[in-house]
A and B are shown apart, each in its own frame.
Chain A
C-alpha cells in the first residue's frame, strides 16, 4: 500500500478559521483577591488563560486535517471552537465562506448541524440512561430532519452505516464494548448528516485492534459520504495514517502545518522534529530514547517569545523575546520558527 494520497481539493475550504483566539476568564480566588488588595495585581480576577492564540487554518471538502499536540496545547479547545461548542474570543469562523457565528435562527441551526463532534471518551459521552435509539435518534427528530415515525428507520440506517446491528437500538450504552460505543458516538454525529466531523481523540481510549476497526470505518465513511474531518490526536502514527494535512500545536499556537507525507518526511520546527523522533515505532531496536528537555509549560504562565524556546536546543536571543509568525516555506508547508531551515 504505497499509494500517495491525492492532494486535497483546496478550492473552497469547507471550514476556515481566521486568527482565532480563545481565552478563558478565571474566577477570582482568595489568593488573587489578596494580591489585588495588596496592590500587587491590577484586577481582582487572575489574568485570563489564553488556550488558543491567533490560529488560522482551513479544512477542504473531503479533506482530513490532523491536529497533533501534547496535553494542554489547546487542540481540544480549538476543536470545540470549530464545532461551535466554544465561541471564539477573537477571530472568525467561516463555513463555506460564510460567517456562521453571525447567522441567527434556522440558518444558524442548519449550518451548525453540518459540523458535528465525536468525543474522546466512549463511556462519558453517552448518556447511560438513554437507549441507543434515543441517543442516535433524538437530534434528527428534534431538528425536524426526519418525522418522528421515521425515527426507528433512521436510527437503524445510522447504526448499520457504522457497522452495528439495527436491533441494538433498544440497548443501553453499558451493554456495549468500548469499540461499539465509539461506533455509537460516530452514529450519533452522522445522524444529522454532517459535512465536517471533529474527532477529538476518538480512538485514544481503544485497544489497538479495535482502533484499527474504527479508523477503517472513518476512512470508509469519508469515501462513501465525502465527509471532512478535523482529526485531533496525540498519536502520531494514527495521524500519519489517516490525515491528508497536519497542523502541529504547541501551547495554543500552530507551529507547523504541511501535507502529512511531507511533514513526516521533513519536519521543520524543532518541536515537530522532537515529537517525531520520540514517537515509539514498531521498529525493533534497543532504541536510545533521547529526552527533549523539560515538559510542556503551563498555559497559565507561558514563556515569552517563542513558546518552545526553553526546551529548544537551538534557541537564540531572538527566540526569547519575539514570537515567530507562521511563514510559508513553500506552497503548502508553513512553520513558525525564527531559525533558518
Chain B
C-alpha cells in the first residue's frame, strides 16, 4: 500500500487476528494492509469465512477471546489504535469511528426508546443539554430519510420495520459526524428498494461530509455501484486490491475472476454459471502454499510458495504468481 501518510483517514498495516482454538491457530485475518482516504468508499469483498468482517471488527477493537489481534498496526489519522488504551479507544468509538452491523439489533437496545439511545450516544462524547441532543437526533434521522422523525424517536425498536431500524442504526453512527464508518453488510437483510434508499443516503452523506466508508459485503454488485476502491479477501488475506473499475471490469486474480463469473448476468441468461471447484478449507489457508491454489485453474508448481501482495502498473495490488491476462474480457 502507499507509504503511510497522515492525510489518510485509516492505514491498516499487516493486520493479523488469530483465533486460538483447540485444533490450533486459525488465522482469520492474516496480514491485511490497506488505506482509506477522507471521503473514500472502500468495498471489502469476500465470501463467508474470508475474514472480511473480522478485519472490520479488528479495526474497531471488538475482537473477543479466543480471538486476538496478534500483530500489525491500525493507524487512524496517524495514531495507532492497537497500542491505544481502552479509554482512548472508547473515546473514538461511536464518535470519530462508527460501525454499522448487519443486524440493527446489534446496535439497538430492545428495551429503550430510540430517543433515549440516540441522546446517550451524543452525550457520551459531548457535553450538550438534552434538548440540543434531541434536536440533533431528529435532524440526523431526517438525513437518513426517515419521515416524521419526532414520532419515530418515541418508538421502541420493535415498533419499527427492519428497514427503519437499520436507518436508525445508521443515524446513530452518523450522530457525531465520524471520520470513518465501517459498515458490515448493513443492507444484506433488506429488500431491494430499501437497500437502494440506504445506499442513496450513504453516498450522499459521504460526499457531503468527507466521511470515509468501509463497506464490507459479499455482494459484488453493491460494491460496483458504491465503491471507489475494492479489496477482495480470501482466507484471511487481501488477494486483489485496486480501483473498482480495474478490479471488477478486468480482474487479474483468478479468484476475483471466478467470483465475478459466478454472478448471474443478463448476457448469459440460462447458460451454466462458472463454478469454483472444491471448497474453502482451513487446511489450505494454513498451508505454506497459495491458499487458493487447489481450487485454481491456473495453479502450477510455483504456487506451492505463497505469493506476496505485489503492486502492478495500474496501482493494483495482486497476490498471485499467475495473474489473469489484462485483456481477458
Binding site for B on A (CB under 8 A): 1-3, 5, 70-71, 177-179, 207-213, 215-216, 219, 234, 236-238, 240-242, 260-261, 264, 274-275, 278-292, 295-296
Contacts and interface: CB of A to CB of B under 8 A. Distances in A.
Given A3-B270, A3-B271, 10 more contacts: A1-B269, A208-B263, A212-B263, A212-B276, A241-B264, A284-B249, A289-B197, A289-B199, A290-B196, A291-B201
A261 B196 contact: no
A296 B162 CA distance: 11
A149 B193 CA distance: 52
A274 B191 CA distance: 12
Nearest to A283: B224
A241 B196 contact: no
Best-buried of B47, B191, B199, B271 by chain A (most CB within 10 Å): B191
Q: What are the nearest 6 A-B pairs in CB distance?
A: A1-B271, A241-B264, A287-B225, A212-B262, A278-B196, A291-B197
Contact of B47 (A209, A240, A264): A209
Contacts of B48: 178, 207
A298 B225 CA distance: 29
Interface in B192-207: 192-197, 199-201, 203
B267 A278 contact: no
A285 B225 contact: yes
**Interface bracket on B:** 35 or more
Interface string B175-200: 00000000000000001111111011
Contact of A237 (B197, B249, B265): B265
Contacts of B219: 208, 280
A281 B264 contact: no
B105 interface: no
A5 B269 contact: yes
A264 B248 contact: no
B191 A212 contact: no
Contacts of A211: 262
A184 to B, nearest CB: 15
B265 A282 contact: yes
B264 A70 contact: no
B84 to A, nearest CB: 34
B218 interface: yes
A280 B194 contact: no
B226 A287 contact: yes
Given A212-B274, A240-B266, A290-B200, A207 B191 contact: no
Given A179-B279, A238-B264, A280-B219, A274 B269 contact: no
